[in-house]
């Protein structure tokens, strides 16, 4: 591919893809930037499965219910571009708000039901409508065959699966494993906002999730959650929620199902972190 390409709207991206990659497979990796190895793992998977990969970097105002969170979200575009330049067959789109949400917006609102009411849905009102909207439009404008998302944001993944099924998009949604640091902390752009001591304190999240996975069969749901909260509260983070739900519907835990997931959200000072573990 001749030279590294960056676009700031979809018109340029579309004509480039049409001219150079007509009839070839396009993989889409939507991100909000401040890229880390978790994002890179999605890009590598997309490169294995497609001829060309479109990485979008867009901090989506519609999915932030808290204006301070939007303001403080890490933004390092030059560093991101330097990271992406090393990949052949990757093009970057850093669209403006107007490019993602044009006046003739193609999105028709999708009802999210329970997904928008429990856990992340309860604590971040409106967040998933913003996610469904932005991902729909990024898919609509870049026309991928497949799009890649991390299991790290498992409720988001269910929202996207639901949105795609409810729309006229024909995109395969691919779920990718969570990448963690050597101590178990899930990589996240928000980790950039943590100091060294806070990185260490945040490990209680993975420790608690692992506790739930190891004990739920023997202790049962209620007792496991009680002990998990006790364990978590020995650390310094503030727990927002911990619960076990069905990984697709986000309905209640079912004892005989292999589809259960334990999800946590917690604050490390003012940095909100989420993580989950599949219980199998
Ligand atoms: P974000 O930039 O946080 O919106 O994330 C962009 C994509 O990367 C989403 O599909 C996330 O689920 C995924 N992602 C974020 N962190 C990780 C991680 N540690 N491992 C795997 N995927 C991740």
Q: Are strands 260-268 and 238-246 parallel, antiparallel or unpaired?
A: antiparallel
Residues with CB under 6 A from ligand 1: 31-32, 38-39, 41-42, 149-150, 152-153, 176, 178-179, 186-189
| pLDDT, position 158 | 98
> Among all chains, which residue has been given the structure tokens 């490390």?
268
Catalytic residue (choose from 39, 127, 136, 162): 39
- 205 contacts: CB under 8 Å, gap ≥ 6: 185, 186, 232, 237, 264, 266, 273, 275
> Is 39 one of the catalytic residues?
yes
Cβ-in-10-Å burial (0-12, 13-18, 19+) of 256 comes to exposed
**Residue 79 near residue 131, CB atoms below 8 Å:** no
Per-residue pLDDT at 21 exceeds 90 = no
Nearest CA to ligand 1 atom 12: 150
| pLDDT, position 2 | 59
Residue in 58, 120, 150 to alter for ligand 1 test, most ligand atoms within 8 A of Cβ: 150
> Which strands form 238-246's sheet, in the order they lie side by side?
238-246, 260-268, 271-278
**For 183-216, what is each residue's pLDDT tens digit?**
999 999 999 999 999 999 999 999 999 999 999 9
Instruction: Please give the angle made by the CA atoms of 30, 44 and 248, to the nearest 5 degrees.
Output: 55
Where, residue-wise, is CATH 3.40.50.620 in the chain? 5-176
Per-residue pLDDT at 92 exceeds 70 = yes
Q: What mean pLDDT comes out for the span 123-132? A: 97
CA dihedral 180, 184, 186, 191 (to 10 degrees): -110
Per-residue pLDDT at 121 exceeds 80 = yes
Atom of ligand 1 nearest to the CA of 149: 10
Q: What mean pLDDT comes out for the span 242-268? A: 97
**Residue 9 near residue 138, CB atoms below 8 Å:** no
| pLDDT, position 280 | 83
Please give the distance, rounded to the nearest whole angstrom, from the Cα atom of residue 41 to the centre of ligand 1: 9
Per-residue pLDDT at 147 exceeds 90 = yes
- With pLDDT > 90 as the criterion, what percentage of the chain qualifies? 96
Please give the distance, rounded to the nearest whole angstrom, from the Cα atom of residue 274 to the centre of ligand 1: 11
CATH code for the structural domain at 5-176: 3.40.50.620
| pLDDT, position 3 | 76
Where, residue-wise, is CATH 3.30.1300.10 in the chain? 189-278
CATH topology of domain 189-278: 3.30.1300
Please give the distance, rounded to the nearest whole angstrom, from the Cα atom of residue 279 to the centre of ligand 1: 20
| pLDDT, position 152 | 98
Spatial separation of the C-alpha atoms in residues 181 and 193, rounded to whole Å: 16
User: What does pLDDT average to over the chain?
Assistant: 96
Q: What mean pLDDT comes out for the span 128-156? A: 98
Q: What mean pLDDT comes out for the span 1-15? A: 90
Q: What is the CA radius of gyration of the chain?
A: 19
């Amino acid at each position: 591919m001749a030279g590294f390409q960056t676009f700031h709207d979809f018109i340029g991206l579309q004509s480039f893809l049409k001219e150079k990659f007509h009839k070839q497979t396009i993989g889409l990796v939507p991100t909000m930037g401040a890229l880390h190895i978790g994002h890179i793992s999605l890009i590598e998977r997309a490169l294995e499965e497609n001829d060309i990969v479109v990485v979008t970097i867009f901090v989506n105002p519609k999915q932030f219910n808290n204006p301070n969170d939007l303001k403080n979200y890490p933004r390092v575009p030059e560093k991101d571009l330097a990271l992406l330049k090393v990949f052949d067959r990757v093009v970057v789109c850093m669209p403006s708000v107007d490019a993602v949400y044009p006046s003739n917006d193609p999105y028709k609102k999708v009802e999210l039901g329970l997904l928008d009411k429990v856990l992340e849905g309860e604590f971040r009102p409106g967040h998933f409508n913003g996610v469904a909207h932005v991902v729909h439009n990024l898919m609509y404008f870049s026309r991928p065959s497949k799009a890649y998302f991390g299991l790290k944001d498992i409720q988001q993944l269910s929202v996207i699966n639901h949105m795609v099924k409810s729309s006229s998009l024909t995109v395969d949604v691919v779920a990718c494993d969570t990448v963690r640091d050597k101590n178990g902390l899930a990589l996240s752009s928000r980790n950039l906002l943590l100091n060294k001591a806070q990185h260490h304190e945040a490990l209680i999240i993975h420790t608690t999730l692992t506790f739930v996975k190891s004990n739920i069969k023997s202790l049962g749901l209620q007792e496991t959650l009680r002990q998990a909260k006790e364990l978590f509260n020995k650390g310094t983070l503030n727990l927002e929620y911990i619960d076990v739900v069905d990984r697709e519907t986000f309905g209640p835990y079912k004892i005989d199902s292999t589809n259960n997931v334990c999800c946590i959200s917690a604050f490390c000072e003012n940095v909100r972190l989420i993580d989950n573990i599949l219980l199998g």
